[in-house]
Amino acid sequence: MKAILIIGCSALALLFALVPRAHAATEAQVFPTSAGPVKITPIYHASTLIEAGGKTIYIDPAKPAKLSGLPKADLILITHIHPDHMDPELIKEISKADTEILAPPTVVQTVTSAKPMSNGETKTWQGWTIEAVPAYNLKRGPAAGQLFHPKGRDNGYVLSYGGKRFYFSADTEGIPEMRALKNIDVAFVCMNLPYTMPPEEAAEAVKAFHPKIVIPYHYRGSDLSVFKKGLEGTGIEVRLLEWYPK
């Protein structure tokens, strides 16, 4: 199984090396909170920039995102070990001497400057509350009896700031822990096959925890119109952003 995982990660690394490096998208979203505005900018695929209170947070900085010209990180959150979610070179590029990095223990083996954070743990940082929540496959994997993202290995994150709660699903299917989330203001939810889930499954999961706003990300190859149609009549606002700039 270890050999299969190594081959799978190598294949993913090759895939993303062949994609042209992408600059940050321009569709920044600004959300008011009691502590001031939170600005969230899609960069590429799952790479995300968050700015609030004079601090900068990156989630999953990875190729082919090009981060030159963007602010250095005060905090970096990494969800898991796959190369479309973490790249050690990019992490060094955006880091300062005092940058903090939080990541699952499997990532810390590679990014040794990171502090481990596992499912169920909560940390506070500069006015933010950071919850590591489960992200895993229920049934999809590279072979029978295997999963692309096994339970307990990877993190999604719920970030709270100024009375607002922001959820980043990472790579997951519509797991019970996602469906049980409460009081989410803005949800960033993945969808793509074969690694996570199709848009219709993502819509059903989102219905269950009913965020005020949902933004699809990590959606390469997915029909977002199916996702949006699946949430019609629910009162959930669907925002479609460009995560794959030319």
Give the integer Cα–Cα distance in Å for 40 and 87. 20
Question: Domain 2-238 in CATH: superfamily?
Answer: Ribonuclease Z/Hydroxyacylglutathione hydrolase-like (3.60.15.10)
User: What are the CA-CA distances from residue 214 to residues 48, 101, 175, 202 (Å)?
Assistant: 15, 26, 17, 11
Q: Are 155 and 104 in contact (CB under 8 A)?
A: yes
Strand partners, 116: 103
Both tokens assigned to 244? 């794959």
How many CB atoms sit inside 10 A of residue 32's CB? 11
| SS3 label, residue 15 | helix
pLDDT in tens, the chain (246 residues): 444 444 444 444 434 433 333 344 458 999 999 999 999 999 999 999 999 999 999 999 998 887 888 999 999 999 999 999 999 999 999 999 999 999 999 999 999 999 999 999 999 999 999 999 999 999 999 999 999 999 999 999 999 999 999 999 999 999 999 999 999 999 999 999 999 999 999 999 999 999 999 999 999 999 999 999 999 999 999 999 999 987
Check if the beta carbon of residue 45 is closer than 8 Å to that of residue 241. Answer: no
**Token pair 């030319």 in the structure block, residue:** 246
CB 85 within 8 A of CB 110: no
CB 35 within 8 A of CB 127: yes
Smallest CA-to-CA distance from 216 within 208, 201, 103, 73 is with: 201
- The beta strand positions in 136-185, using DSSP E, are 154-161, 164-168
For residue 106, give the amino acid letter: T
Judge if pTM exceeds 0.85.
Answer: yes
Entry field: residues in the chain = 246
